[in-house]
Amino acid sequence: MENYSFVIMKCIAIDDETLALELIRSYVNKIPFLELCGTFTDPFEAMNFLSRNKTDLIFTDIEMADINGVQLISSLQYKPMVIFITAYERYAIDGFMLDAVDYILKPVNFERFLKGVNKAHDLLNKTNNTPPGASVPVVVKPIHAPDHIFVKTENKLVKVMLSDILYIEGYGDYVKIHIRDGRTIVTLNNMSALEEKLPEDNFIRVHRSFIVAIDKIDEVERRRIKIGRELIPVSDSYAEAFVNKLDQTSL
């Protein structure tokens, strides 16, 4: 069997939200060619670290207290590769001008994160004179089915256990996540983006404005789903897929 090797990238993460840093840490831990050398909620501490330590890649938020991510990167004498991870689209041109490897909008899922990291890894391999035509396979540790998601509400990321979700309701650019303890979490997001995060084995979209947890369904009658006291419609465009899904678990 042919042996492969890959270049290890030393990286750091900068964000003034600790939950965002935890999410990045969890993603980095799944990628064997990344080595996380530090996480920072204070951009100035990050700048101090960068002045003393060789770093290949920076993950950074943009809007932070005292100095934003664009200013931080612009101020560095030696500029590692950078991937901006932010909730704001308006800095995309600034990122382009700084030759950012990628510009990822929050909330970010692992697949989108990995896509940006692969870009950076390809660039690093080229810099290190990888022979033309050589392939450096990306070996990712097995991804276990997630048991939670993080959603942004107000100015924080909130952890939501998938087992607690009853159904999700869409309102234009906002969604309401209905939890079994009676809580409702409102987040600035769209249904399609949230649908991609949810494991399809237990969540299914049944209407343009509704996603339901299959294991929370009490009854289905006349294209209406009953979950607790709530009645959720099944629209024509989603009916066939919903029925097929139920057939997999029906006797």
Provide the pLDDT for residue 122: 87
Confidence grade of residue 78 (pLDDT, cut at 50, 70, 90)? confident
Choose between 170 and 146: higher pLDDT. Answer: 170
- 250 pLDDT tier (thresholds 50, 70, 90): low
- 141: pLDDT strictly greater than 70: no
Helices 18-28 and 110-127: crossing angle in degrees, nearest 10, is 60
pLDDT at 6: 64
On the question of pLDDT at 218 being above 80, the answer is yes
Question: Residue 4's pLDDT is what?
Answer: 41
pTM: 0.53
Average pLDDT estimate for 217-228:
92
Q: pLDDT digit string (tens) for 22-68?
A: 999 999 999 999 999 999 999 989 998 998 899 999 999 998 877 88
Q: What percent of the chain has pLDDT over 70?
A: 88
Comparing 103 with 97, the larger pLDDT belongs to: 103
Is 133's pLDDT higher than 90? no
Mean per-residue pLDDT of the chain: 85
Q: In which band, very low, low, confident or very high, does the pLDDT at 139 lie, cut at 50, 70 and 90?
A: very low
